[in-house]
Amino acid sequence: MEYVVKGYEPKRVFEIFEDICAIPHGSGNESDVADYVENFAKKLGLFSFRDDAGNVFVRKEATSGYEDKPAILLQGHMDMVCEKNADSDHDFLRDGLKLSVKDGFLWADGTTLGGDNGIAVAMILALLETDKHPLLECLFTVEEETGLDGAKAFDCSVVTAKKMINLDSEEEWQITAGCAGGCRTEVDFNYSACEASNTATALKISVTGLSGGHSGAEIHCGKTNAIVALARILGAVWAEEKFSLVSFCGGGKDNAIAREAFATILVEDEKKASLAAINEVWGIRKELCHDDKDLLVKVDCVDNPQKCISLDETEKIVAFLSCVKTGVLKMSNDIKGLVEYSRNLGVAETNSQRIKFILSARSSIESQLDLSCRELDMLCALSGAECAHYARYPGWEYAPVSELRDDYAAAYKKLFGKDISVGVIHAGLECGILSSKMTGMDVISVGPNMHDIHSPDEHLDLASCERVWKLLLEVITKK
């Protein structure tokens, strides 16, 4: 295999990562990567097993001189978020990623890179090839991106370590020591299609060009959600010119800020509807952050459909979209700059009988997740939609004392001559689930710099990978 990354260290980490990128591994489709991990362990003569959920566990005994040192659990997830540009023909079920290096960063061509969390898998496997370490236990989980299901299913009784390094963070300069919990909600508007008016005009409204991003890590960055923007445009059109909705679709993942959204509507007064849409877009443009400067909104006449959604049912859908609260809902009172509670509208889909929306709520306080569920239940009851909550997971509470955290901070100071930050994040991590199953586990989450994860602009800082690798070696080989 001809590798793309050349001239960067650690060479072995990048080779393994490129091997992983060549294997399709979206959430629910991790079996081939799991095969790769198991075969990797087998070649090294290591103990490994795969559980019924698809998680892979590998153990390597301590090397000479480290037999008395505390065991360490290394953990990352095997699945990736599969997002691509509208003009990409990439098939995430069959195709490997097309990679390129530019200005010290590794990119994928028109798709997500899967550095979240493939680089963790690569680093852990490379560490298994090293010859100075205590007992290493390695856990590679599945379906993290769709609800942390692998971590929920894993039987932690096999783990003997009392220290755990999760490698699912994206900021080299920070040790993550706590995270939010979350819950997903599916909202379904079931409708009976009616005959489309012969006198109406079909308009397709497209919202594209937005930057998107991670709905936890970047929810506070002012990024515009394409589904929310389109809903706002439809609300403005409805106020001026009633219409029948034909379809509404957008986004791809509930944990990603939607970059694109599309709706087709039937209107009697095309000019009035178009003008209302354009006027609202001018207002949206004034609120854009710099990353979303390429916003493009188009209103095009398209062929009239045979079927549409009635005016009454359309009004209920537009009302729901106009009233549902999304984005940052509350900032922390205790930690400056930390989002405490948020909700992301990440997916909109339409078929012949249903329009579906999927939302993801996050909070470091369980009662706020309860509140999110109640609010959506009530709003759905008023608008005639069905509402189901699922994939709820706990947060990870900050521990005042952590020997592992102190060791990592000391290593950072030793290697780079400056202090590392310690923080709590709004994104969800598997640490909360796993540590709740293992009493007394000392946990940190770290990782190299990655940018624009969960979007086709995702890119991995190659030099940062080397620095994090050196940090891991320093901590693991400490005597």
Q: Which of the residues are catalytic?
A: 79, 144
Output the six-digit token pair for 444.
């940190």
- With beta carbons less than 8 A apart as the criterion, state whether 81 and 256 touch: yes
Q: Whole-angstrom Cα distance, residue 430 to residue 428?
A: 7
Cα atoms in the 13 Å half-sphere on the side-chain side of 126: 25
Question: Cα 469 to chain center, whole Å?
Answer: 23
**Identity of the residue numbered 347:** V
Please give the full DSSP string across 266-307, using - where no structure is assigned: EES-HHHHHHHHHHHHHHHHTT--GGGTT-EEEEEEEPPPSE
**Neighbouring residues of 364: CB distance < 8 A, sequence distance ≥ 6:** 178, 179, 180, 181, 332, 338, 340, 341, 395, 424, 426
Q: Whole-angstrom Cα distance, residue 202 to residue 155?
A: 54
**Neighbouring residues of 252: CB distance < 8 A, sequence distance ≥ 6:** 82, 83, 258, 346, 347
- 185: alpha, beta or left, given left = phi > 0 and alpha = psi -120 to 50? beta
- Residue in 267, 248, 206 with CA at minimum distance from that of residue 354: 248
Q: Whole-angstrom Cα distance, residue 141 to residue 56?
A: 7
- With beta carbons less than 8 A apart as the criterion, state whether 451 and 439 touch: no
**Neighbouring residues of 329: CB distance < 8 A, sequence distance ≥ 6:** 341, 342, 343, 368
Report the residue count for the chain.
479
- With beta carbons less than 8 A apart as the criterion, state whether 402 and 177 touch: yes
Output the six-digit token pair for 342.
């948020």
Q: Whole-angstrom Cα distance, residue 141 to residue 51?
A: 10
Contacts 24+ apart (CB under 8 A), 86-95: 86/208, 86/260, 88/456, 92/24, 92/26, 92/29, 93/24, 93/26, 93/29, 94/24, 95/24
- With beta carbons less than 8 A apart as the criterion, state whether 447 and 76 touch: no
